[in-house]
Amino acid sequence: MQLISLSAYDLGLAAALVIFLALLSLRMQLGVASQILIAASRTVVQLLLIGLVLKVIFATDHPAWLGLLSLAMLLLAGREVMARQKYRLRGWMGFGLGTLSMFISSFSVTLLALLVIINVEPWYTPQYAVPLLGMLLGNTMNGISLGLDRLNQTAWQQRRIIEARLMLGWDWKRAIGDISHDSIRTGLTPIINAMAAAGIVSLPGMMTGQILAGSPPMEAVKYQILIMFLITAGTGFGTFAAVRFGSRRLFDERQRLRLERLQIAK
Protein backbone atom coordinates (compact mmCIF):
# COMPACT_ATOMS: atom_id res chain seq x y z
CA MET A 1 0.00 0.00 0.00
CA GLN A 2 1.22 3.45 -0.95
CA LEU A 3 0.91 6.51 1.24
CA ILE A 4 -1.68 8.79 -0.36
CA SER A 5 -0.53 12.38 0.05
CA LEU A 6 -3.22 14.76 1.31
CA SER A 7 -3.93 17.91 -0.68
CA ALA A 8 -4.95 21.29 0.71
CA TYR A 9 -8.40 20.60 -0.69
CA ASP A 10 -8.69 17.41 1.42
CA LEU A 11 -7.78 19.27 4.60
CA GLY A 12 -10.07 22.13 3.67
CA LEU A 13 -12.99 19.73 3.49
CA ALA A 14 -12.23 18.50 7.03
CA ALA A 15 -11.87 22.12 8.18
CA ALA A 16 -15.28 22.90 6.74
CA LEU A 17 -16.75 20.29 9.10
CA VAL A 18 -15.19 22.06 12.10
CA ILE A 19 -16.42 25.45 10.88
CA PHE A 20 -19.90 23.99 10.46
CA LEU A 21 -19.73 22.68 14.04
CA ALA A 22 -18.70 26.14 15.28
CA LEU A 23 -21.61 27.76 13.42
CA LEU A 24 -24.01 25.25 14.89
CA SER A 25 -22.79 25.89 18.44
CA LEU A 26 -23.04 29.63 17.81
CA ARG A 27 -26.67 29.16 16.83
CA MET A 28 -27.32 27.08 19.93
CA GLN A 29 -25.57 29.72 22.05
CA LEU A 30 -23.27 27.19 23.66
CA GLY A 31 -20.54 29.79 24.04
CA VAL A 32 -17.84 27.49 22.69
CA ALA A 33 -17.84 28.60 19.04
CA SER A 34 -14.82 30.89 19.37
CA GLN A 35 -13.04 28.30 21.53
CA ILE A 36 -13.52 25.69 18.79
CA LEU A 37 -12.16 28.01 16.10
CA ILE A 38 -9.21 29.22 18.18
CA ALA A 39 -8.28 25.66 19.16
CA ALA A 40 -8.61 24.51 15.56
CA SER A 41 -6.38 27.34 14.35
CA ARG A 42 -3.87 26.49 17.05
CA THR A 43 -3.82 22.90 15.85
CA VAL A 44 -3.02 24.01 12.31
CA VAL A 45 -0.34 26.54 13.26
CA GLN A 46 1.32 24.44 15.96
CA LEU A 47 1.42 21.27 13.89
CA LEU A 48 2.71 23.10 10.79
CA LEU A 49 5.44 24.65 12.92
CA ILE A 50 6.46 21.34 14.49
CA GLY A 51 6.35 19.81 11.00
CA LEU A 52 8.81 22.40 9.79
CA VAL A 53 11.02 21.90 12.84
CA LEU A 54 10.98 18.13 12.37
CA LYS A 55 11.78 18.51 8.68
CA VAL A 56 14.87 20.55 9.54
CA ILE A 57 15.92 18.25 12.37
CA PHE A 58 15.47 15.10 10.25
CA ALA A 59 17.53 16.70 7.49
CA THR A 60 20.44 17.90 9.65
CA ASP A 61 20.48 14.81 11.92
CA HIS A 62 22.56 16.55 14.59
CA PRO A 63 22.00 15.57 18.28
CA ALA A 64 22.27 19.21 19.44
CA TRP A 65 19.08 20.14 17.57
CA LEU A 66 17.34 17.14 19.06
CA GLY A 67 18.47 18.20 22.51
CA LEU A 68 17.17 21.70 21.98
CA LEU A 69 13.79 20.45 20.79
CA SER A 70 13.54 18.04 23.75
CA LEU A 71 14.28 20.86 26.16
CA ALA A 72 11.61 23.06 24.58
CA MET A 73 9.09 20.21 24.76
CA LEU A 74 9.95 19.60 28.42
CA LEU A 75 9.58 23.25 29.39
CA LEU A 76 6.26 23.60 27.59
CA ALA A 77 4.95 20.45 29.25
CA GLY A 78 6.16 21.78 32.62
CA ARG A 79 4.26 25.00 32.07
CA GLU A 80 1.15 23.02 31.20
CA VAL A 81 1.43 20.92 34.37
CA MET A 82 1.62 24.11 36.44
CA ALA A 83 -1.29 25.74 34.61
CA ARG A 84 -3.57 22.77 35.25
CA GLN A 85 -3.26 22.92 39.04
CA LYS A 86 -5.80 24.97 40.95
CA TYR A 87 -3.64 25.02 44.06
CA ARG A 88 0.02 25.13 43.18
CA LEU A 89 3.28 25.70 44.99
CA ARG A 90 4.49 29.28 45.05
CA GLY A 91 7.65 30.40 43.34
CA TRP A 92 9.85 28.35 41.07
CA MET A 93 8.82 25.11 42.81
CA GLY A 94 5.38 25.39 41.20
CA PHE A 95 7.06 24.94 37.84
CA GLY A 96 10.15 23.02 38.90
CA LEU A 97 8.49 20.16 40.74
CA GLY A 98 6.37 18.89 37.85
CA THR A 99 9.05 19.60 35.28
CA LEU A 100 11.74 17.77 37.22
CA SER A 101 9.49 14.75 37.76
CA MET A 102 8.65 14.68 34.05
CA PHE A 103 12.30 14.99 33.15
CA ILE A 104 13.30 12.09 35.38
CA SER A 105 10.61 9.73 34.12
CA SER A 106 10.10 10.66 30.45
CA PHE A 107 13.75 11.08 29.52
CA SER A 108 14.96 7.95 31.26
CA VAL A 109 12.17 5.81 29.77
CA THR A 110 12.78 7.27 26.28
CA LEU A 111 16.52 6.62 26.57
CA LEU A 112 15.86 3.07 27.69
CA ALA A 113 13.59 2.52 24.69
CA LEU A 114 16.06 4.00 22.23
CA LEU A 115 19.19 2.34 23.59
CA VAL A 116 17.97 -1.06 24.75
CA ILE A 117 14.52 -1.92 23.42
CA ILE A 118 14.29 -0.53 19.88
CA ASN A 119 18.05 -0.25 19.68
CA VAL A 120 18.16 2.45 17.01
CA GLU A 121 21.49 3.26 15.38
CA PRO A 122 22.49 5.99 16.25
CA TRP A 123 20.32 6.24 19.36
CA TYR A 124 19.43 9.88 18.72
CA THR A 125 17.83 9.19 15.32
CA PRO A 126 15.12 11.89 15.45
CA GLN A 127 12.48 9.81 13.59
CA TYR A 128 12.38 7.60 16.68
CA ALA A 129 13.46 9.92 19.50
CA VAL A 130 11.06 12.83 18.89
CA PRO A 131 7.75 10.92 18.63
CA LEU A 132 8.68 8.66 21.56
CA LEU A 133 9.61 11.56 23.82
CA GLY A 134 6.56 13.50 22.69
CA MET A 135 4.16 10.72 23.56
CA LEU A 136 5.84 10.09 26.89
CA LEU A 137 5.86 13.76 27.86
CA GLY A 138 2.25 14.23 26.81
CA ASN A 139 1.00 11.35 28.93
CA THR A 140 3.33 11.87 31.89
CA MET A 141 2.17 15.46 31.90
CA ASN A 142 -1.41 14.27 32.34
CA GLY A 143 -0.61 11.94 35.21
CA ILE A 144 1.57 14.41 37.05
CA SER A 145 -0.82 17.33 36.75
CA LEU A 146 -3.77 15.20 37.87
CA GLY A 147 -1.78 13.80 40.79
CA LEU A 148 -0.41 17.14 41.99
CA ASP A 149 -3.75 18.89 41.57
CA ARG A 150 -5.44 16.24 43.67
CA LEU A 151 -2.67 16.32 46.29
CA ASN A 152 -2.65 20.08 46.79
CA GLN A 153 -6.40 20.46 46.70
CA THR A 154 -7.06 17.64 49.17
CA ALA A 155 -4.32 18.83 51.51
CA TRP A 156 -5.93 22.28 51.45
CA GLN A 157 -9.38 20.91 52.21
CA GLN A 158 -8.19 18.48 54.87
CA ARG A 159 -5.57 20.60 56.56
CA ARG A 160 -7.25 20.32 59.95
CA ILE A 161 -7.15 16.54 59.75
CA ILE A 162 -3.50 16.52 58.69
CA GLU A 163 -2.61 18.83 61.58
CA ALA A 164 -4.67 16.78 64.03
CA ARG A 165 -2.54 13.78 63.03
CA LEU A 166 0.66 15.78 63.48
CA MET A 167 -0.58 16.71 66.96
CA LEU A 168 -0.88 13.01 67.73
CA GLY A 169 2.81 12.63 66.91
CA TRP A 170 2.42 11.19 63.41
CA ASP A 171 5.28 11.96 61.06
CA TRP A 172 4.54 13.90 57.87
CA LYS A 173 4.52 10.83 55.65
CA ARG A 174 1.87 9.11 57.69
CA ALA A 175 -0.13 12.30 58.26
CA ILE A 176 -0.57 12.85 54.52
CA GLY A 177 -0.26 9.17 53.54
CA ASP A 178 -3.85 8.46 52.49
CA ILE A 179 -3.96 11.73 50.53
CA SER A 180 -0.71 10.94 48.71
CA HIS A 181 -1.92 7.47 47.80
CA ASP A 182 -5.22 8.84 46.52
CA SER A 183 -3.35 11.38 44.41
CA ILE A 184 -1.12 8.76 42.84
CA ARG A 185 -4.16 6.63 42.04
CA THR A 186 -5.84 9.64 40.43
CA GLY A 187 -2.78 10.28 38.28
CA LEU A 188 -2.61 6.66 37.13
CA THR A 189 -6.31 6.12 36.40
CA PRO A 190 -6.38 7.51 32.82
CA ILE A 191 -3.48 5.38 31.59
CA ILE A 192 -4.83 2.26 33.27
CA ASN A 193 -8.19 2.88 31.61
CA ALA A 194 -6.48 3.51 28.27
CA MET A 195 -4.61 0.19 28.51
CA ALA A 196 -7.76 -1.69 29.47
CA ALA A 197 -9.79 -0.18 26.61
CA ALA A 198 -7.06 -0.28 23.95
CA GLY A 199 -8.28 -1.93 20.77
CA ILE A 200 -11.79 -2.60 22.06
CA VAL A 201 -13.30 0.82 22.48
CA SER A 202 -10.75 2.78 20.50
CA LEU A 203 -7.90 2.20 18.14
CA PRO A 204 -4.99 4.11 19.64
CA GLY A 205 -3.99 7.15 17.57
CA MET A 206 -0.42 6.14 16.95
CA MET A 207 -1.36 2.71 15.66
CA THR A 208 -4.07 4.19 13.45
CA GLY A 209 -1.57 6.64 12.00
CA GLN A 210 0.97 3.92 11.32
CA ILE A 211 -1.61 1.74 9.58
CA LEU A 212 -2.82 4.68 7.50
CA ALA A 213 0.80 5.34 6.54
CA GLY A 214 1.07 1.81 5.21
CA SER A 215 2.63 -0.28 7.98
CA PRO A 216 1.53 -3.91 8.33
CA PRO A 217 -1.07 -4.09 11.16
CA MET A 218 0.96 -6.51 13.31
CA GLU A 219 3.98 -4.20 13.21
CA ALA A 220 1.78 -1.27 14.21
CA VAL A 221 0.29 -3.36 17.03
CA LYS A 222 3.71 -4.29 18.40
CA TYR A 223 4.77 -0.66 18.43
CA GLN A 224 1.52 0.33 20.09
CA ILE A 225 2.00 -2.23 22.85
CA LEU A 226 5.53 -0.99 23.41
CA ILE A 227 4.35 2.62 23.55
CA MET A 228 1.52 1.77 25.97
CA PHE A 229 3.92 0.07 28.36
CA LEU A 230 6.48 2.84 28.13
CA ILE A 231 3.80 5.47 28.72
CA THR A 232 2.43 3.57 31.71
CA ALA A 233 5.86 3.20 33.27
CA GLY A 234 6.75 6.81 32.55
CA THR A 235 3.47 8.15 33.89
CA GLY A 236 3.65 5.91 36.94
CA PHE A 237 7.21 6.75 37.97
CA GLY A 238 6.70 10.43 37.14
CA THR A 239 3.54 10.61 39.24
CA PHE A 240 5.19 8.76 42.15
CA ALA A 241 8.07 11.21 42.09
CA ALA A 242 5.92 14.33 41.74
CA VAL A 243 3.46 13.37 44.49
CA ARG A 244 6.29 12.30 46.77
CA PHE A 245 8.29 15.54 46.32
CA GLY A 246 5.07 17.56 46.38
CA SER A 247 3.92 16.01 49.66
CA ARG A 248 7.28 16.63 51.31
CA ARG A 249 7.22 20.23 50.15
CA LEU A 250 3.96 20.83 52.03
CA PHE A 251 5.89 20.31 55.28
CA ASP A 252 8.98 22.06 56.57
CA GLU A 253 12.06 20.69 58.34
CA ARG A 254 10.12 20.51 61.64
CA GLN A 255 7.33 18.64 59.86
CA ARG A 256 4.87 21.51 60.19
CA LEU A 257 2.15 21.71 57.56
CA ARG A 258 2.99 24.84 55.54
CA LEU A 259 0.01 25.45 53.29
CA GLU A 260 1.00 29.06 52.77
CA ARG A 261 3.43 27.54 50.28
CA LEU A 262 0.40 26.97 48.05
CA GLN A 263 -1.34 29.64 46.03
CA ILE A 264 -4.72 29.50 44.37
CA ALA A 265 -4.67 30.00 40.62
CA LYS A 266 -6.96 32.77 39.42
Partner 1 sequence: MPRLRIEQVNTLQLNGVSLSVNAGECVCISGSSGSGKTLLLRAIADLDPHQGEVYLDDIPSQQIPAPQWRRQVALLSAESQWWAETVGEHFESVDESFLHSLGFTSSPMDWSIERLSTGEKQRLALLRVLGLKPKVLLLDEPTANLDFASGQAMEHLLMEYQRSEQVAVIWVSHDAAQIARVAQRHFEIESDRIQEHARCN
Q: Which of residues 217-256 bind partner 1 (CB under 8 A)?
A: 252, 254-256
Closest CA to 98 of 133, 134, 139, 148: 148
Sites for partner 1 among residues 23-82 (CB under 8 A): none
Nearest to 40 by CA among 26, 21, 27, 61: 21
Stretch that binds partner 1, among 2-10, 102-110, 160-168, 227-235 (CB under 8 A): 160-168
Backbone angles phi, psi at 87, to 5 degrees: -105, 120
Q: Which of 160, 200, 201, 218 binds partner 1 (CB under 8 A)?
A: 160
Nearer to partner 1, 220 or 250 (CB): 250
CB 111 within 8 A of CB 70: no
- 168 makes contact with partner 1 (CB under 8 A): yes
* Rounded-to-integer distance, Cα 241 and Cα 233, Å: 12
- Burial tier of 243 (Cβ tally within 10 Å: 0-12, 13-18, 19+): buried
Q: Which residue, 25 or 153, is less far from partner 1 as judged by CB?
A: 153
Q: Which of 54, 96, 128, 163 binds partner 1 (CB under 8 A)?
A: 163
> Which residue in the set 89, 102, 146, 166 belongs to the binding site for partner 1 (CB under 8 A)?
166
Residue 170: CB minimum distance to partner 1, A: 6
- By CB under 8 A, how many residues form the interface with partner 1? 18
Q: Which residues contact 154 (CB under 8 A, 6 or more apart)?
A: 179, 182, 183
